[in-house]
Amino acid sequence: MKESLNRGRTFAAVAGILSLALLAGGLSARDENWRPAAPEVETPSFPYSGGFTFARIRFEPTIWGGGPFMWGLDLKWNHDYPFAEENFTRIVDEITDVEVQTEGGNVLELSDPRLFEHPWAYLCEPGFWNPTEEELENLRSYLLKGGFLVIDDFFDIRGYPVQWENFERQMGRLLPGYELVPLTVEHPVFRSFFVLDDINFDIEDARFYPVRGRIYGVFEDNDPSRRLMVAINYNMDIGDFWEWSETTFYPVDVTQKGFKLGVNYLIYGMTH
C-alpha cells in the first residue's frame, strides 16, 4: 500500500514536473510580447465639450483576472473607475473655475486620436503596463506637444520593486534618456492651487501595506526647471482616495490631501 502510494506519488510528481515543463516550454515558445487578451468592455463616451473632460488611459495589462473592480474584472486600468473621476471632477467643479465635465470621464486607448483632445490624462497600475510601439509613439508625441499625464496606483513591497522595475522599463521605452526625478514639496506643482506643505500620503494602519510613497516627475527636455510632463505617484493611490471619499475607508485628512494633490495636478497641467 505504502509502495503503491509511493509509486502513485512518484507518478504524480513526474506528471507534475512534466506538466510544468510542458507549460514552461509552451510559454517560452510564445512571442515575447504576448499578453493575455483582456475582455473588451464598453465605457461611456463624452463628446468634445470645450472644457475639461477626465481622460483615463486604457491598456491591455500583462495579467488580469476577476476582482472587486468595475464589471467584476481586474483589468488594472479600471481600478477605482468610474467613481474616482466622478468624485474628483465634482470637487474640481465645486472649488475651481475650470469648466469641467462632471458626469464622469472618457476612457481612451493610447492609440486613439481622441487622446489629443484631452491634454490632461490619468493612468493607473503601470506595474502591469506593457504598451505597444504604436501606443508609445502616440504617448511620446502627446507629452512632447504639451500633454500632461498623471500615473498613479502602483505598489511594491520593500525590497521587491517588481512593479517599479516594469514601470521604469516602459518609461525607458517611452522617453529614452529621460530621468524619473523625485519631487520635493518645493516644486510648483504642489503650489499650483492648494499650498501643500506635506506630500506624505502614507497611512499608518495595519490594514494597508507598510509602504513609503514617493512622487516622481519627468520633465520637458529632462530639465527640472522646465515643465513637468508626467507626475508619478509611486506607492500611492490618490484615485483610491477619490473613489472611497464618500465612505470612512480612508482617514479624512489623507482623502482631502488626495483631492488637493489631484486639483493641483490638474491646475498645473492646465497652466504649465
Partner 1 sequence: MVGLFEFLFKYRPALFEEGRFTFVSPGWMQVAALLAGALLVIAAFTYRRLGAGTADRTAGADRLRWLPPVFRSLAIGVLVFCLLQPALVLSTVVPQETFVGVVVDDSRSMAMPDEAAAADGTRAGAVLEALSGESGSMLDRLAERFQVRLLAFGRSAERIESTEQLRFGRADSRIGEALVAASDELAGLPLSGLVLLSDGADSAPAELGDALLTLKAAGTPVYTVGVGRPRLRKDIEVSRVVAPRRVLEGSTVEVEVTLSQTGFGGRTVDLEVEDDGRIVNLEQVTFPRGGSAVTARVMFAANDEGAREFRFQVAGQPDEELLLNNERTALVEVLKRREKIFFFEGEPRDESKFLRRAVSQDENLHVVSMTRQAANKFYGMNFDEDTRRFEGFPTRREELFEYSGVILGSMEASFFTHDQMRMLVDFASQRGGGVLLLGGRRAFSEGGFAGTPLAELSPVVLYDRPADQGRPELMTDLRIDLTPQGRGHPATLLRDDRDEANELWPTLPPLSAYQRATELKAGATALLQAESPMVRDPMIVLAHHRIGRGRAIAFTPHDSWHWQMSADIPLEDQTHERLWRQMLRWLVSYVPDRIEVEADRDRFEPGSTVTLRATVRDEAFQEVNRAQVVAAIEQPSGEEVEVPLDWSVERDGEFVGTFTARESGLYRVEVDARSEGELLGVATSRFAVDELNEELFGAARRDSVLKRIASETGGRQVGLGQADRLVEDLSVSSEGTLVREARDLWDMPILFLALVALLGGEWAVRRRLGMA
48 binds partner 1 per the rule CB under 8 A: yes
224 binds partner 1 per the rule CB under 8 A: no
Task: Provide, rounded to whole angstroms, the least separation between the CB of residue 41 and partner 1.
Answer: 24
Which cell goes with 22?
Answer: 510542458
Task: Provide, rounded to whole angstroms, the least separation between the CB of residue 250 and partner 1.
Answer: 25
49 binds partner 1 per the rule CB under 8 A: yes
Burial 15-27 (b: 16+ CB within 10 A, else e): eeeeeeeeeeeee
146 binds partner 1 per the rule CB under 8 A: yes
Burial 116-129 (b: 16+ CB within 10 A, else e): eebbbbbbbbbbbb
Interacting stretch for partner 1, rule CB under 8 A, among 35-43, 57-65, 211-219, 264-272?
264-272
Which one, of 85, 84, 77, 83, lies nearest residue 101 by Cα?
Answer: 85
Interacting stretch for partner 1, rule CB under 8 A, among 13-21, 35-43, 139-147, 158-166?
139-147
Nearer to partner 1, 211 or 270 (CB): 270
103 binds partner 1 per the rule CB under 8 A: no
Task: Provide, rounded to whole angstroms, the least separation between the CB of residue 108 and partner 1.
Answer: 11
* Contact assessment for residue 148 and residue 229, using Cβ atoms and an 8 Å cutoff: yes
CA 158 to CA 77: how far, in whole Å? Answer: 23
CA 155 to CA 138: how far, in whole Å? Answer: 26
Those residues whose C-beta lies under 8 Å from the C-beta of residue 244, and which sit 6 or more positions away, are 250, 255
* Contact assessment for residue 138 and residue 109, using Cβ atoms and an 8 Å cutoff: no
Select the residue interacting with partner 1 from 20, 22, 24, 95 (CB under 8 A).
Answer: 95
Q: Which amino acid is at 193?
A: F
Select the residue interacting with partner 1 from 147, 217, 239, 258 (CB under 8 A).
Answer: 147
Contact positions with partner 1 (CB under 8 A) in 174-193? 192-193
* Contact assessment for residue 173 and residue 136, using Cβ atoms and an 8 Å cutoff: yes
Task: Provide, rounded to whole angstroms, the least separation between the CB of residue 264 and partner 1.
Answer: 10
CA 99 to CA 270: how far, in whole Å? Answer: 11
270 binds partner 1 per the rule CB under 8 A: yes
Binding-site residue total for partner 1 (CB under 8 A)?
31
Interacting stretch for partner 1, rule CB under 8 A, among 81-89, 90-98, 172-180, 207-215?
90-98
12 binds partner 1 per the rule CB under 8 A: no
Question: In the complex, which residues of this chain contact partner 1 (CB under 8 A)?
Answer: 48-52, 95-99, 113, 115-117, 119, 138, 141-142, 144-147, 192-193, 227, 266-267, 269-272
